[in-house]
Amino acid sequence: MEEEIRRCDLLSIPYLVHHPGAFTTSSREAGLDRIAAAYKELFKRTKTLSVVSCLENTVGSGSNLGRDFTELAALRDLITKATGRPERFGVCFDTCHAHAGGYDLSSLDKSRAVMAQLDAELGLSWVKVVHVNDSKAAAGSRRDLHEHIGEGTIGLPGFEGVVGHPALRGVPKILETPKGEGTDGTPLDTANLRRLYSFLGSTPINQPVTGTKSPSRRATTKARTPAPTRARGRATR
Ligand SMILES: [Zn+2]
């Protein structure tokens, strides 16, 4: 972990994302304390660096920590108290993990409610990275199976509440959806990005492909963009 932080610094990567881990045979409290103790040691060993370590929310399977928003807030409090470096702590919000972990994102109203809850229980200013993934598994299933945007149990409308949230506008967003190319040769990432750009209005921050027009909000609420061909393999991180 120390090595990863050093590599991020060398490469000018501002955020390092990782899962909190599992408490296995100990207790939830002991697990949280161990993470805070590890951060204390890590930040001590890398005290001249400014890389922000971001804990990612999880589906909460088994004894894995970090599903509950209040638990992420508790980790933030423990870590900032142990290290005195709140500016080096952040959270990565993964839409698939939240949904499968029980925070239902399957409509615009539901996803707005989840984001309001995240804001109330943690604070959206702590969210430094967003992993944008649909979910193959049902809301609350505690199963971590990523799917193309709009083709899973979240569905396209639910992403508007997250990607279109004003507080997350400048936050980096990463697709962890299956990779490959559609039958027409279009990269699946491009197809997935086009769907998400529809929530950014008419001026996407970056065009995915030169000369490609971003779909307008009106066009995409009436007719969904064509489904990309499914890729082989799967992303489950
Ligand atoms: Zn993720």
Partners of residue 150 on adjacent β-strands? none
Q: 225 alpha carbon to ligand 1 midpoint, in Å? A: 24
What domain count does the chain have?
A: 1
**237 inside domain:** no
CA 148 to centroid of ligand 1, rounded, Å: 14
pLDDT in tens, 171-221: 999 999 999 998 999 999 999 998 998 887 644 444 444 444 444 444 333
Residue 157: inside a domain, yes or no?
Answer: yes
| Spacing, Cα 175 to ligand 1 middle (Å) | 8
Using the mean position of ligand 1's atoms as its centre, give its distance from the Cα of residue 173 in Å.
Answer: 10
Q: Is there a domain that residue 185 lies in?
A: yes
Crossing angle between the packed helical segments 69-83 and 28-45, to the nearest 10 degrees:
40
Q: How far is the CA of 90 from the centre of ligand 1 (A)?
A: 14
Instruction: Using the mean position of ligand 1's atoms as its centre, give its distance from the Cα of residue 135 in Å.
Output: 11
* Each residue's pLDDT tens digit, 60-103: 999 999 999 999 999 999 999 999 999 999 999 999 999 999 99
CB atoms within 10 A of CB 229: 14
Nearest to 67 by CA among 121, 13, 16, 120: 121
We report the CATH number of the domain holding residue 6 as: 3.20.20.150
User: Separation of 67 CA from ligand 1 center, angstroms?
Assistant: 12
Output the CA 88–ligand 1 centroid distance in Å: 19
**CA nearest to 219, candidates 235, 189, 199, 191:** 199
Where does the chain show beta strands of DSSP type E? 15-18, 52-56, 89-94, 127-132, 134-135, 146-147, 173-175
- The rounded Cα 218 to chain-centroid distance in angstroms is 26
Cα–ligand 1 centroid distance for 178 (angstroms): 12
- CA 21 to chain CA centroid, Å, is 16
Look at residue 234 and tell me if it is in a domain: no
d(CA 110, CA 99): 10
pLDDT classification of 152: cutoffs 50, 70, 90: very high
Q: What is the pTM of this model?
A: 0.85
First to last CA, the chain: 17
Domain that holds residue 194: 2-222
Q: Does residue 88 lie in a domain region?
A: yes
Give 131 Cα–ligand 1 centroid separation in angstroms. Answer: 5
With a CB cutoff of 8 Å and minimum separation 6, the contacts of 106 are: 99, 139, 153, 154, 155, 158
- Centre of ligand 1 from the C-alpha of residue 177, in Å: 10
Residue 129, strand partner residues: 92
Cα 151 to middle of ligand 1, angstroms: 17
* Gap from CA of 146 to ligand 1 centroid (Å): 9
Calculate how far, in angstroms, residue 183's C-alpha sits from the geometric centre of ligand 1. Answer: 27
Compute the distance from residue 56 Cα to the ligand 1 centre, in Å: 7
Residue 122 lies in a domain: yes
Per the domain annotation, does 147 fall within a domain?
yes
Query: Is the pLDDT at 228 greater than 80, yes or no?
Result: no
Q: Give the separation between CA 221 and CA 27, rounded to whole angstroms.
A: 46
Across the chain, what does the average pLDDT equal? 88
The pLDDT score that the predictor gives to residue 201 is 66
Closest CA to 43 of 18, 79, 7: 79
Q: Determine the distance separating the centroid of ligand 1 and the alpha carbon of 182, expressed in angstroms.
A: 23
State the pLDDT at residue 197: 86
Q: At what angle are helices 156-163 and 108-121 packed, to 10 degrees? A: 30
Q: Check if the beta carbon of residue 104 is closer than 8 Å to that of residue 139.
A: yes
Q: Which has the closest alpha carbon to 184: 232, 228, 220, 230?
A: 228
Q: Is residue 95 part of a domain?
A: yes
